[in-house]
Amino acid sequence: MADESAEKTEQPTPKKLQDAAEKGQIARSKDMGTAFVLIGSAAALLVFGKMLAMAMLDICQRMLRLDHKDIFETNSMFTAWGTAGERLVAPLSGIFLIILIAAFVGNCLLGGFNFSWQAAGPKASKMNPLNGFKRMFGLQALVELLKSILKVIVVVGIAYLLLKLFFFDIMALSLMSEPNNIESAMYFLAWLFLGLCASVSVIAIVDAPYQKWHHIKQLKMSLQEIKDEYKNAEGDPQIKARIRRTQMQMSMKRMMQEVPKADVIVTNPTHYAVALKYDQGKFRAPVVVAKGVDEVALHIRKIAKEHKVPVIESPALARSIFHTTELDHPIPEQLFAAVAQVLAYVYQLNMYKKGKGSRPKTLAKELPIPEDLRH
Radius of gyration of the chain measured on its C-alpha atoms: 43
Which residues have a Cβ under 8 Å from the Cβ of 226 and sit 6 or more positions away? 10, 13
On whether the CB atoms of residues 41 and 99 are closer than 8 A, the answer is yes
pLDDT at res. 269: 76
Pick the residue with more confidence: 151 or 179? 151
375 pLDDT higher than 80: no
Residue 97 pLDDT grade (very low, low, confident, very high; cuts 50, 70, 90): very high
pLDDT at res. 70: 63
**Is pTM beyond 0.85 here?**
no
First to last CA, the chain: 50
Pick the residue with more confidence: 239 or 340? 340
Instruction: Look at residue 280 and give its three-state secondary structure.
Output: coil
How far apart, in whole angstroms, are the C-alpha atoms of residue 150 and residue 147?
Answer: 5
Which residues have a Cβ under 8 Å from the Cβ of 359 and sit 6 or more positions away? 352
Q: Which of 109, 111, 108 is nearest to 219 (CA)?
A: 111
The count of C-alpha atoms lying within 13 angstroms of the C-alpha of 158, restricted to the half-sphere facing its C-beta, is 19
Query: Domains in the chain, please, with CATH?
Result: 14-113+126-231 (no CATH), 257-373 (3.40.1690.10)
25 pLDDT higher than 80: no
Pick the residue with more confidence: 41 or 141? 41
Average pLDDT over residues 71-77: 65
Residues above pLDDT 70, as percent of the chain: 77
Mean pLDDT in the chain? 76
pLDDT at res. 1: 45
pLDDT digits (tens, 9 = 90+) for 269-316: 778 888 888 877 666 788 888 888 888 888 888 888 888 888 888 888
pLDDT digits (tens, 9 = 90+) for 250-270: 767 787 888 888 888 888 877
